[in-house]
Structure 1
Amino acid sequence: MATTDRYGNAVSTTNRGAVATLDQAAEAMLGFRADPLALADAAIAEQPDFAMGHALRAGLMVMSGEPAAAAEGLRSIEAGEALRHANARERAHLAAARAWCEGDMSLAQTRYGAISAEYPRDLFALQVAHTTDFFLGNAAGLRDRPTAAMRNWREAETGFAWMLGMQAFGLEECGEYGQAEQAGRMALALNPTDAWATHAVAHVMEMQGRDREGVQFLGLREGAWSQAGLLAVHNWWHLALYHLEHSEHDQVLAIYDRAVAPREGSVVLELVDASAMLWRLMLRGVETGGRFAAVSAAWQAMGGAGFYAFSDLHAVMAHLGAGRADLVAEVLGAMRRAAAGRGSNARMTRDIGLPLAEGFAAFMLGDHGRAVWTMVPVAGQAIGFGGSNAQRDVIWLTLLEAALRAGEGSVARGLAGRRLAAKPESPFAQAAMARSRAVGAARAA
């Protein structure tokens, strides 16, 4: 009888100890807890020819979204591919990871999605597919893949809650807020430690302008989600967003300094949060001291410009805020080279990332009119280069502020009206509408 993992997926080793350790790695990643990479390494150390161990390790590199992880991922892939006894599912994992590490993000997304469809009890394949959908802006995939997989599970089974959390986030990204919150709260009822489900409900509250409720929601569950080290920074970022909407800048900076600011070992997604929060504060005229310089230095140390357009835009934000024109030019140059290439990131950079980065640079130089008309044609297509609705909101916020400063009253009114319709109780949205009307009145005078 074939050895299986905890959810019934066949593996090509009979070493049950190694399988149990790899199960722990996959579960740690589902919960964004502990150190899944160390656990994967421990499983491989126990059974060096464990094909799924190498495949899971490569998948962790994919999920990191970091350029340096591609080379590390390829080493794991090559180790797995050399094992002739690997089964079909393990080989499919290795092929999917190889596509990502070789720069074909769309093919990796397709392959991981196919694994999840064929093996709906493979939660790691589902999670990696979910992550690639996030990286590539596939909102429907974020919703539909976990929904499809759930049909092969019973609600009482361990593991079902993880899929509910993924489904909740996908529903939110598709604008189905009521169903998203219901799924997220159900996931938390089954598994209160699910930081991804917590994050999904936090997104719903952000998109609906339920800021005070969001502060309370995250506060009541802080003891659980703050232990999810791989996602905690992002949930702190969400808490800061609620305070930012009410101009509670001291609280935002306190959260930033305590939990969001770069530290040794910060990963790309954490630098994205740090850059975006400081940029939002800068747009509101809040003094951030030397904080931009620290984030800029972290991006410079990370390297890999031109690998993923969404990250590149956030690196540009940090360098602009720090006044590092040299680093801005360096990243823009890498983006232009990437845009001239082929593949998923070339398209994302060419069509979305590079125009936005150039628009942000124009904004920081005070050329607000050029910033507006550089960003207007692409802002509405920004889902195509990944991230969440809440993360991409920094684009609309920058465009709105650029329009206000450029005296483009009609553009500003349209953007402010959109915010006010989504968040009628938002003090920021109300103030933005008042400013846009004042701009229009001044032009008419």
Structure 2
Amino acid sequence: MAECDSRGLPISTESPQAAGQYRIGIDLLLSAWPGADDTLRQAAELDPHFALAHAALARLHAIKAEPAEARARIATAQEIVARNGSPREISHVAVLALAVTGQSAKALESALAHLDAWPRDVLILSLPLGAFGLFAFSGMIGHDQARVDLCERVAGRYDADDWWFLTYRGWSHAENGSVSRGRDLAQRGLERRRANANAAHAVAHAMFEQGAKDEAEKLLDGWLPEYDRAGMLHGHLAWHAALSALERDDPQHALAIYSKYVRPSASLGLPINVLSDTVSLLWRLQAYGHEVPSGMWEEVESYAGSRYPTPGLAFVELHTALLAAATGKHAAAVDRIKANAQRVADGVLPAGPVVPAIGRAALAFANTDYAECMRILEPVAADVARVGGSGAQREIIEDMLLLAFMRSGDSAKARDLLDRRLHRRPSQRDARWRGQIEV
């Protein structure tokens, strides 16, 4: 009897033990749960000619920003699958090869074509989805809708209780504005597999979009202790809890969470999350008028310099711009802005001109030139979604524009933006700011 993956697709291995480890490892990977690397490695060791096990390890190395290991694993998978792979497996490995070697546009095109033929190939379906997926980092303005469209197109091919599909279908709907539906789907995913960090994350995001900060804190307080700190989303989920503390105007509790779980020396998360979570939380603290303790910015600078010394993803560039501006490294910020502007001109930065514009606006904000910040940021505000990430992550740019309105004395624009935000979701902080404008 042929071996199959966890969604019933045939896999080329003659080892039942390798197949079993592969199924477990893929589900650990898809739930952002510790142990995926060891389990998938065992699958590859049990059957060294198991191409999909090597390909899954390549994907995991790429997620963890380990490019050399990812390239080595995918090369092994390509060599094996060329000899004895099925058409699906050959295509599966080819899509992953494009993704892990940084050919994102081709990877997205190939993934969508692959899914037309094999919609239940769950690892390939995971590639376009999520805050850091191929859609999010494609530079398109409508990536939230694109994720929903893809999920709905394949929904009929997944079981009604498939915990992973419920999770990502829910997250996609919540990010695209159908928050109640998205929360319901994601909660069902969490109920069906509680050891699922992606589901806890999706539910927390939906709660954020609903303005249900107290519920989000209760969820995370009850669930996070079950999640090993080695889990790739542990620090990021703690970041959500710290944001909730800031929402309550409790910077000391936010800093306590940051120090214990989020800062570079404490987090075991993905580098892109460590950078974005640390920069955005410290920036918010500083911008909202709270003191950032000595040494915290310097620690983040050191981490960013070691992990992201040269321009890369638009989402990373957003945060390196905020970091340089907030810490007074304005010459370095100008150099990075120029480099990103050249990348836009060369056509190699899909998000386009919004990236250097955010850098210039951050510098103006740091220099308390709020009128200049407004002048730069207002025309591109609608394009910020092009950098990828989630709505909660991108809100920092809207916060910068809002604070520029308030501090420049443009009460009408500040009031209009706050009213739109409060209509979108309740917010204690926005309500406080709205009250300040009326004084």
- Name the counterpart of 2:73: 76
Equivalent pair of 1:234/1:273 in contact (CA under 8 Å): yes
Give the match for residue 441 of structure 1.
none
For 1:88 and 1:228, the matched residues in 2 are separated by 36
**Deviation string, structure 1 residues 390-438 (Cα, Å, up to 9, x no partner):** 11100100111112222233322222222222344x3311232234456
Q: Which secondary structure does the structure 2 equivalent of 1:381 belong to?
A: helix
Q: Which residue of 2 aligns with 1:161?
A: 163
**In the alignment, is the contact (CA less than 8 A) between 2:28 and 2:34 conserved in 1?**
yes
Task: Work out whether 1:313 is the aligned partner of 2:318.
Answer: yes
Q: 1:312 to 1:125 in 2, by over 3 A?
A: same
Query: For structure 1, which runs of at least 5 residues remain unmatched after alignment?
Result: 439-445
Q: Would you say 1:214 and 2:225 are equivalent positions?
A: no
- Which residue of structure 2 aligns with residue 442 of structure 1? none
Q: Which amino acid aligns with 2:25?
A: A
User: Match of 1:432?
Assistant: 433
Contact persistence 1:54–1:79 (CA under 8 A): yes
Residues 305-384 of structure 1: matches in 2 within 5 Å?
305-343=310-348, 346-348=349-351, 350-384=352-386
User: Once the 2 structures are TM-superposed, how far is the Cα of residue 193 of structure 1 from its aligned partner?
Assistant: 2.2
Unaligned runs of 5+ in 2: none
Identical pairs, percent = 25
Aligned CA RMSD, in angstroms, stands at 2.4
Supply the distance in 2 between the matched residues of 1:212 and 1:226 (Cα, whole angstroms): 23
Matches within 5 A, 1:176-195: 176-195=178-197
Question: What does residue 114 of structure 1 align with?
Answer: 113
> Partners of 1:26 and 1:95 in 2: how far apart?
18
1:240-251 correspondence to structure 2 within 5 Å: 240-251=242-253
Counterpart of 2:305 in structure 1 is 300
SS in 2 for 1:347: coil
Structure 1 contact 310–386 (Cα < 8 Å) conserved: yes
After TM superposition, list the pairs within 5 Å mapping 1:27-426 onto structure 2: 27-64=27-64, 66=65, 69-83=66-80, 84-130=83-129, 131-136=133-138, 138-155=143-160, 160-225=162-227, 229-263=231-265, 266=269, 267-289=271-293, 290-303=295-308, 305-343=310-348, 346-348=349-351, 350-424=352-426, 426=427
Matched residues in 2 for 1:195 and 1:79: separation?
Answer: 30
What is the distance in 2 between the residues matched to 1:132 and 1:391?
Answer: 17
- Which amino acid counterpart does residue 354 of structure 1 have in structure 2? P
TM-aligned CA distance change 1:120 to 1:370, over 3 Å: same
- Count, aligned residues: 428
Q: Evaluate the alpha carbon distance shift between residue 23 and residue 326 of structure 1 in structure 2; reply closer, same or farther with a 3 A threshold.
A: farther
Aligned to 1:25: 25
Task: Identify if the C-alpha distance between structure 1 residues 134 and 35 changes in structure 2 by more than 3 Å, giving closer, same or farther.
Answer: farther
Check 1:337–1:89 CA distance in 2 against 1; reply closer, same or farther (3 A cut): farther
Letter of the aligned partner of 1:275 in structure 2?
A: V
Deviations 1:2-29 (A, max 9, x none): 4322322222332332222222221111
- 1:179 partner amino acid: R
Q: Distance in 2 between matches of 1:357 and 1:105?
A: 24
Q: How far apart, in 2, do the equivalents of 1:315 and 1:129 lie?
A: 24
Letter in 2 for 1:285: G
For the residues of structure 1 that align with 2:36 and 2:345, how far apart are their CA atoms?
36
Describe the shift of the 1:210–1:228 C-alpha distance in structure 2 as closer, same or farther (beyond 3 A): farther
Q: Deviations over 1:338-366 (max 9, x none)?
A: 323334xx131x33222112211221122
* 1:8 and 2:12 are equivalent in the alignment: no
Normalising by structure 1, we get a TM-score of 0.88
> What is the deviation of 1:273?
1.0
Please give the secondary structure, in 2, of the residue aligned with 1:217: helix
Moved more, 313-322 or 331-340: 331-340
Q: Are the equivalent residues in 1 in contact too, given 2:341–2:353 (CA < 8 A)?
A: no
Q: Please, which moves more after superposition, 389-398 or 402-411?
A: 402-411
* TM-superposed deviation, 1:150: 3.8
Q: Distance in 2 between matches of 1:402 and 1:50?
A: 56
Taking a change above 3 Å as real, the CA distance of residues 237 and 89 of structure 1, as seen in their structure-2 partners, is same
Alignment deviations for residues 195-250 of structure 1 (CA, whole Å, 9 cap, x no partner): 22221221122122222222222223233346671111111111111111121111
Task: Give the AA of the match of 1:237.
Answer: W
- The two structures have a TM-score, normalised by structure 2, of 0.90
Q: Name the stretch that deviates more: 20-29 or 325-334.
A: 325-334
Amino acid at match of 1:231: L
* Aligned-residue offset at 1:317: 1.9
Cα pair distance change 1:384/1:153, threshold 3 Å: same
Instruction: Report how far residue 374 of structure 1 moved.
Output: 0.9
Partner letter of residue 22 of structure 2?
A: L
Assess if the C-alpha contact under 8 Å between 2:59 and 2:100 holds in 1. no
